[in-house]
């Protein structure tokens, strides 16, 4: 373990496991540890960036959800510089996202997913874990689908069978009644979501950075492009903008998925191939219907609009509406393959 990783791990353990407050006094007390945080390129990996961003968000929460300028007046220069340099290297915004707070913040124990650092009190751990595991499990389930797309394999029926199985597995995740309970939704609103939110600006820029969102799911974006879905829904715009919070590999795979979908549709012949393709579309539509039911509960309602406090976007202030969800779902349903198209 490098000295940078060791220093960031130590600070995260203090803040998230030992429940210390990220105050000026805390950082002053740990200044000898913090001096080990170097912004040299060899240390700027995504796991280190995730820990640094977790520390930054904890600083915001622990200082009465202070203004960004307040956070930066407290956060040590070494950590600020590290986050900025890592953000530039990976071309990922320097705030909470699925990539940083989920995909780079978990471990497996006996095939069970656990967060390395959780930001809720112990009495809310079970609710946190129920939400936390979903986007990570989705990526695990999608590994075979990703392998097919990455290698552009020619056996299209094998791919469609694998795709259908994966969409079914993901759909089952959203059937979990535990994440749909009123208590779970309340914990999400009050304990999970506020930590992920950020606000306007980082290091003097004019962007808006808010927090992790389901639209950042690489698999959802892969499916959207594979089926060639075109939608006038605002949700399509949010999906596209969320790709800016993914890794280069994820963005490249999403592009490949669109090309692979075109190739498969061009080669679809015979009843079975078309039926399998359209069954995949039907199942994805069913998945989006389930996701919508949960999504409209986990965004805050304001002026009859479901205004998300969980969506991360670089520009503009988007509002998720129930109509936008419904339109995207209808456009998904209508992407079925027809030889007449």
pTM: 0.89
Residues 167 and 85 in one domain: no
Number of structural domains (the chain) is 2
Q: What is the per-residue DSSP string for 83-130?
A: HHHHHHHHT--SS--HIIIIITSEEEETTEEEESS--S-GGGHHHHHH
Whole-angstrom distance, CA of residue 75 vs CA of residue 93: 18
272 located within any domain: yes
Residues 186 and 285 in one domain: yes
103 located within any domain: no
pLDDT at 251: 96
120 located within any domain: no
Whole-angstrom distance, CA of residue 300 vs CA of residue 304: 10
Whole-angstrom distance, CA of residue 123 vs CA of residue 114: 16
Instruction: Report the CATH number that the domain containing residue 224 is assigned in CATH.
Output: 1.20.58.480
How far is Cα of residue 99 from the mean position of the Cα atoms in its chain?
6
For the chain (length 341 residues), average pLDDT per consecutive 10? 95 97 96 94 94 95 77 92 94 89 95 95 94 95 95 88 96 83 84 79 65 84 93 81 90 96 85 88 91 70 42 46 75 77 53
86 lies in which domain range? 3-90
Q: Which residues 6+ apart lie within 8 Å of 69 measured at CB?
A: none
pLDDT at 111: 87
Residues 154 and 283 in one domain: yes
21 located within any domain: yes
338 located within any domain: no
177 located within any domain: yes
281 located within any domain: yes
The tens digit of pLDDT for each residue in 124-168 reads 999 999 999 999 999 999 999 999 999 988 888 899 999 999 999
Residues 309 and 217 in one domain: yes
158 located within any domain: yes
């Amino acid at each position: 373990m490098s000295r940078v990783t060791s220093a960031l791990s130590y600070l995260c353990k203090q803040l998230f496991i030992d429940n210390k407050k990220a105050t000026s006094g805390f950082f002053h007390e740990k200044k000898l540890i913090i001096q080990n945080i170097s912004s040299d390129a060899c240390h700027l990996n995504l796991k280190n960036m995730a820990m640094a961003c977790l520390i930054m968000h904890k600083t915001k929460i622990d200082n009465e959800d202070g203004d960004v300028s307040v956070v930066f007046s407290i956060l040590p220069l070494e950590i600020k510089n590290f986050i900025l340099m890592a953000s530039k290297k990976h071309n990922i915004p320097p705030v909470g996202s699925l990539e940083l707070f989920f995909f780079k913040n978990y471990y497996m124990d006996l095939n069970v997913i656990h967060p390395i650092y959780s930001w809720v009190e112990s009495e809310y751990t079970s609710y946190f874990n129920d939400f936390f595991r979903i986007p990570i499990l989705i990526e695990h389930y999608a590994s075979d689908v990703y392998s097919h797309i990455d290698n552009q394999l020619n056996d299209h029926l094998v791919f469609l069978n694998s795709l259908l199985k994966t969409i079914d597995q993901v759909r089952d995740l959203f059937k979990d009644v535990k994440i749909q309970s009123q208590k779970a939704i309340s914990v999400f609103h009050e304990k999970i979501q506020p930590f992920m939110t950020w606000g306007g600006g980082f290091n003097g820029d004019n962007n808006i950075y808010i927090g992790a969102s389901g639209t950042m799911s690489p698999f959802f974006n892969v499916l959207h492009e594979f089926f060639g879905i075109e939608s006038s829904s605002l949700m399509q715009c949010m999906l596209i903008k969320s790709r800016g919070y993914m890794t280069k590999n994820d963005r490249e795979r999403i592009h490949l998925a669109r090309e692979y979908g075109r190739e498969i549709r061009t080669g679809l012949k015979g009843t079975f191939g078309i039926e399998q393709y359209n069954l995949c579309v039907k199942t994805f539509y069913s998945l989006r219907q389930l996701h919508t039911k949960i999504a409209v509960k986990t965004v805050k309602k304001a002026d009859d609009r479901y205004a998300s406090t969980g969506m991360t976007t670089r520009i503009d202030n988007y509002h998720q509406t129930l109509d936008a969800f419904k339109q995207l779902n209808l456009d998904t349903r209508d992407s079925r393959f027809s030889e007449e198209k």
